[in-house]
Structure 1
């Protein structure tokens, strides 16, 4: 029988952990027995989440911008001092912003790449040496269906998320024989503050009601609904377990069938 706490004692670090998908992942990994480092830009949100988690998770919160390579190096050093080397890394921190291609500024382009792609690279680079020494590790990158198929008006975001999937595949091959797996989870439209911001943007630009704007996002999912953060967390949690040892280099769509590989 599988263990009810398959990650007992494993040190998991989740970026963008203060809300939405990141918070759901942190709760699920804690339930699976992991000890947790919570990374995010908002210290207050991280502390609020830490207070909700079971004492067994021994949550340690670090306010950090994943786009700052030096800050990431310091954060991983601090995390290792508290819980030992990171064994499960979940690169969840991300940001999305829409603009027509011709009005995509250099600053917007660079920001999408820095937060969504470079941040994943910096964190994986910081986590990998401890995993290699231990001969075991799990890296799960939260990408997006935008990284599997693309969407209009989010060229910078989609390019960054395609990059996350490319990074996932290349690193997975590099560490495949070292007891480490690297995979991507690609949510469709998910019930988060980011989705609400998109609904608000549609309402503002088109004059549609909130119900009509939300329905447009629901229709992208063949199941006719919005994905829930806990569903994404379930996929991440499975990939983090020993049972998923043969799953490597995959981009798993959590989208009700919007993307089929």
Structure 2
């Protein structure tokens, strides 16, 4: 039976790579994203994947939006077998003077949004005795960073959430794991590089080399590597892997 996967935030970065990988494996992929109602963003996605797949507007912060999205996927495809939560935001601020807006948006998107998606799909997974839930955390879940209280907190919270989901799903064939990458060569990282170039006047090659040298392997993690790991975890071979956080850190803990 063809499996049905939901990927939140799947229009770019690791979410896009995961969508491409699962689609190539024959999985029915349904993407939910804030830009899911943007025809240009959807057209670009279809071009990158090489095939039209379902893309719907989704705000994981909003319970009604989450419920409507999941209901549509079930109505269209009959079930949800896989949930990959990659929707996330990042904005820096020191603790002193940290705005409520940055805190609330980060926690609501990265942590509470993941919870709301799991809450929406888990009854169906339990009923069908099969489910694979993957949460995209970060090495920031394990290590602090200056000016990143909201982000580190949101990612650390995913680890606790995943442990609870794992225990509640274990007897019903539902697993829940998280993946904690170090720097991955995504659009978000490109923004950091661009900002550092603007702030310091360094060349792109110099800034890129600094990020690459930040781990002992001397190379950035690629989105496709995260996608391959997800493909394994959601397969039948990943049945016994649950309540686990896998750090893809290239030998570095920052």
Q: TM-score, normalised by structure 1?
A: 0.90
Q: 188, 205, 212: which one pairs with 1:211? A: 205
| 1:73 pairs with one of 42, 67, 78 | 67
Deviation of 1:160 after TM superposition, in Å, equals: 0.3
Distance 2:77 2:42 in 1: 17
Partner of 1:26: 19
Partner of 2:218: 224
8 Å CA contact 1:47, 1:61 repeated in 2: no
Distance 1:221 1:41 in 2: 33
Task: Structure 1: state its 5+ residue gaps.
Answer: 1-7
Distance 1:103 1:212 in 2: 32
* Structure 1 residues 91-121: Cα deviation after superposition (integer angstroms, max 9, x where no partner): 0101111122223211101111011001100
Is the 1:17–1:46 contact (alpha carbons within 8 Å) kept by the matching residues of 2? no
CA distance in 1, matches of 2:50, 2:2: 13
Q: For 2:77 and 2:44, how far apart are their aligned partners in 1?
A: 20
Tell me the residue number matched to 1:4: none
Structure 1 residue 52, shift from structure 2 partner: 5.0
Structure 1 position 38 matched with structure 2 position 31: yes
How many Å separate the matches in 2 of 1:228 and 1:147? Answer: 19
Aligned pair count? 251
Runs of 5+ unmatched residues, structure 2: none
Partner residue in 2 for 1:16: 9
- 1:60 is aligned, of 54, 57, 63, to 54
Of stretches 94-103 and 34-43 in structure 1, the one that deviates more from structure 2 is 94-103
Residue 185 of structure 2: aligned partner: 191
1:146 counterpart residue number: 140
- Normalization by structure 2: what TM-score? 0.93
Q: Paired residue for 1:49?
A: 45
How large is the Cα RMSD of the aligned pairs? 1.8
Q: Deviations over 1:116-170 (max 9, x none)?
A: 0011001000110110110000000011111122222211101100011111112
Q: Distance in 2 between matches of 1:49 and 1:172?
A: 32
Who is 2:131 aligned against?
Answer: 137
| 1:104 and 2:104 correspond | no
> CA offsets per residue over residues 186-206 of structure 1, 9 Å max, x none?
111111111011122323344
Please state whether the residue corresponding to 1:208 is helix, strand or coil: coil
Task: Give the CA deviation at 1:220.
Answer: 2.4
Pairing partner for 2:76 from 47, 71, 82: 82
Take 2:50 and 2:218, find their aligned partners in 1: how far apart are those partners? 35
